[in-house]
Amino acid sequence: MRNTSFKGEYAAWEAENAKGSNPPGTVFRDNCLPIVEAGQALLVDDDYALDDTVTLTPTPGHSPCHCCVNIVSKGQRAVVAGDLMHHQIQCREPDWSAKPDWDPKQSTLSRRKFFASVADTDTLILPVHFPAPTAGLIKPLGDAFDYKFKRE
């Protein structure tokens, strides 16, 4: 089985690695480079669509070419948010960026755009850093947003 990675993201970290800089620590060197060198990676663009079910949405900022993964099935949509947000407080304070964000201003723009696109819809959000029950919905809250954990 091949691992899917984003071309732009890989290129950015490859350039950082070549300069001797490793902002994410040894993640690139230990986890990405060996997979690509072994020929087990499929590098895709950030508008990649596996099929009608799985597509990407570019949300740069946490990393140069961060993407969220959209899953659409039977008329329902879920989004794996990845590192777009690290805590639900970022819905109420979308300008707050996590310390490891590559570009805090860009991550803010990506969060605001993404939140606005899913607020008050039935799009199930699947953050990777939130506590259980993790999944939830984003609701508008004035100039910000609110995260409602889905408990059912």
Task: Identify the pLDDT of residue 21.
Answer: 76
More confident call, 5 vs 34: 34
Model confidence, pTM: 0.86
Residue 25 backbone class (left: φ over 0; alpha: ψ -120 to 50; beta: rest): left
- CATH 3.60.15.10 in the chain, residue ranges: 46-149
CATH of domain 46-149: 3.60.15.10
- With CA atoms as reference, report the closest residue to 129 among 86, 92, 93: 86
Question: How many C-beta neighbours within 10 Å does residue 150 have?
Answer: 12
pLDDT per residue as tens digits for the range 79-111: 999 999 999 999 999 999 988 898 999 999 999
Residue 43's alpha-carbon distances to 3, 11, 102, 117, 130, in angstroms, are 8, 10, 21, 27, 28
pLDDT per residue as tens digits for the range 97-149: 988 898 999 999 999 999 999 999 999 999 999 988 999 999 999 999 999 99
Q: What is the distance between the alpha carbons of residues 41 and 6, in angstroms, rounded to a whole number? A: 10
DSSP state of 23: T
Question: How many C-beta neighbours within 10 Å does residue 54 have?
Answer: 15
